[in-house]
Amino acid sequence: MLLKQIAAQALAAPDQAAVLCGSRRLSYSDLVYEVAHLAGRLHAAGIRSGDYVVLQLPNGIDFVTAFLALIAVGAVAVPLSASTTEDEKSRYLAGHLVSFTLADTPAQQQRGLDTPAAGANHSRLTLDTLPEAGNWSLPPATEGPVLCLYSSGSTGQPKRVELRQRHLFYAQAHVADAIEIDRSDRVFCAVPLHHSFAIGNCLLLPLCNGATLIILEPRPGEGKTGEIPLVLRRREILQLLESTAATILPGIPLIFSLLADTRATPSEKLSVRLCISAGSVLARDVHDRFRQRFGIPVRQLYGSTESNAVALNLAPDTSETWDSVGQPLPGCRIRVGGTDEGVAEGTVAIRSNALCDGYAGQPELSRQSFRDGWFFPGDLGSRDRHGNIRILGRRRPYIITAGYKVDPDEIEAVLMDHADVKEVAVAGVSHPTLGEMVTAHVVIKAHGREDGEQLAVYCRSRLAEHKVPKAFNFVPELPRTPMGKLSTHMLTR
């Protein structure tokens, strides 16, 4: 299904640029050839339909061709970041037998692959050591899963999401119909391709519709990821957006914030027509600064690993709707407070033909989140009289302390009103007598004071005693996932 869609684009416009990354360029005819050739080599290496293959490649053309080649042979791609820790891999792959790992280099391939899930027959492969073989013939679309991702939400418990070709096809088709993408569009990708947002809206969206995918080429650097961070590449990103004539920029709020703060040049002229933000909440300040700088609104997209994209703010004027995720995409439905019509507020539920079938191997978790064809992501939302949806927060579990139920959102709202507090996350930490101890993890503003006693006094003036944090942990920043989401489980470690 997906590969036939891409092959059809190659027949219609074989010389059209499909993927650009650094000095490398693949036309659509090149892309189809490279995928077929790599699929033949993967098959010769022993990969068969239904095999689970950890895909641990950096952003680039090799990731694109390897991902599509695994689909061609009917295998299940399990994309993981190169920076995934041993502990994370163990949690992700627990009880999940992985047959192969495909990595970029032997050193990268060796990291984190001796996990219990690897098994005795686990094979470690690198792109440059695969056996040569003839090109693979495009088979009929498999009905089985082709992509395995992990969703932890705010709980930290890995939930295995397996997506079939039809899920991925509809995921890109829903967005394509809404934004009217065509061959003249050029989609710029600066987010990790192993993430569901990037797979659907950076990789598959352009390639299934004849547009061009432009990938920010990774640059070696120090630190956990081994790459130069985006904050040091914002000038380069801006120059690439201009020189490549990119028209669509999917990103996370951090990217838009960095670009808005980048010093202008006299020749600066962007061709971008659409900026899509996902991964975490877009702040008004970021929206306004970016629009003021470039004259382009940043539009919030709403979705999840389980459902893919389901809503996008396409309002002509985002001045008053900057915080909205817009309305459901074609083929999607969103219920708020039990209804999908009229003004409402409450629990969000999602229905889409791109929605996964449940959590693989986790029936109890599936029963909790998937009911009667609807997915309940744990979000709270509202819908106004114009049909615009806003995500108000998550239905986070209460902290149970000394027999009291405490809502962390309430405490965070109070602390955010304090003049010295820049950011805060409240979590329950296991305690031998209280059950859970209310703990506030606080980022202080540049000229603020790290004074836990003062913050406790402030909280007591507005909260009942059992709600006042018993510990204040001052940190330079809150832990987040690569897509900018707060990683609550890391706060309780």
pLDDT digit string (tens) for 169-204? 999 999 999 999 999 999 999 999 999 999 999 999
Percent of the chain with pLDDT over 90: 68
pLDDT given at position 378? 87
Between 299 and 401, the more confident residue is 299
- The reported pTM is 0.81
How far is Cα 491 from Cα 486, in angstroms, rounded to an integer? Answer: 9
pLDDT at 143: 84
> Closest Cα partner for 344 from 395, 281, 387, 396?
387
- Residues 322, 404, single domain; the answer is no
Domain count for the chain: 2
Q: Are residues 323 and 417 in the same domain?
A: no
C-alpha distances in Å from residue 353, one per residue of 276, 306, 333, 348: 22, 11, 10, 17
Both tokens of 349, joined, read 């539920």
Tell me, what's the pLDDT at 156?
46
Residue 83 lies in a domain: yes
pLDDT of residue 82: 73
Rg value, the chain, Cα: 23
Say if 201 falls within a structural domain: yes
**Does the pLDDT of residue 375 top 70, yes or no?**
yes
Report yes or no on 351 lying in a domain.
no
Label residue 155 by pLDDT band (50, 70, 90): very low
CATH number of the structural domain spanning residue 148: 3.40.50.12780
Pair (305, 167) in one structural domain: yes
Q: In the structure, what pLDDT confidence band is assigned to residue 227 with cuts at 50, 70 and 90?
A: confident
Q: Indicate the SS3 state at residue 96.
A: coil
Q: Are residues 300 and 425 in the same domain?
A: no
- What pLDDT is attached to residue 154? 45
- Beta strands in 177-317, from DSSP E residues, in sequence order: 186-189, 212-215, 248-251, 274-277, 298-304, 308-312
Cα 330 from Cα 199, distance rounded (Å): 19
Single residue among 274, 296, 330 that ends a domain in this structure? 330
Co-location of 429 and 294 in the same domain? no
Which tokens hold the place of 214?
């432009």
- Host H or E run for residue 408: helix 408-416
The verdict on 315 and 409 lying in the same domain is no
- At 283 the pLDDT is 86
In a domain? residue 350: no
Is residue 44 located within the same domain as residue 130? yes
Identify whether 349 is part of a domain: no
Q: 393 lies in a domain?
A: no
Is 386 within a domain? no
Of 278-287, 292-301, 410-419, which gets the smallest average pLDDT? 278-287
- Lowest pLDDT segment from 189-203, 252-266, 468-482: 252-266
pLDDT value at position 116?
46
Of 276, 295, 330, which residue sits at a domain end? Answer: 330
Q: Residue 274: beta bridge partners?
A: 248
Residue 355 lies in a domain: no
Q: Mean pLDDT across the chain, nearest whole number?
A: 88
Which of 403, 213, 201 has the alpha carbon at shortest distance from 302? 201
CATH at residue 424: 3.30.300.30
Residue 407 binned pLDDT confidence (cut-offs 50, 70, 90): confident
Determine the Cα–Cα distance for residues 170 and 174; give it in Å rounded to an integer.
6
Whether the pLDDT of residue 224 is over 50: the answer is no
Residue showing tokens 């149970």: 400
Query: Among 303, 330, 357, which residue terminates a domain?
Result: 330
The closest of 413, 392, 391, 13 to 209, measured between CA atoms, is 13
Most confident of 215-224, 295-304, 482-491: 295-304
- Which range of 20-29, 275-284, 357-366, 432-441 scores highest in mean pLDDT? It is 20-29
* Alpha carbons within 13 A on the beta-carbon side of 484: 17
Q: Within this chain, do residues 421 and 320 fall inside the same structural domain, yes or no?
A: no
Tokens of 447: 């000229």
Of 19-28, 79-88, 91-100, 402-411, the poorest mean pLDDT is in: 79-88
Looking at the fold, whether 405 and 291 belong to one and the same domain comes out as no
Nearest-angstrom CA–CA distance, 413 and 426: 10
Do 419 and 304 fall within a single domain? no
Average of per-residue pLDDT across 432-441: 84
Q: Using one digit for the tens of pLDDT, what is the confidence trace for 80-124?
A: 987 665 655 766 776 667 889 999 865 555 544 455 455 556 789
Indicate the angle between helix axes 253-260 and 234-243, nearest 10 degrees: 90
Which domain, by its residues, includes 487?
399-491
**What share of the chain has pLDDT > 70, as a percent?**
86
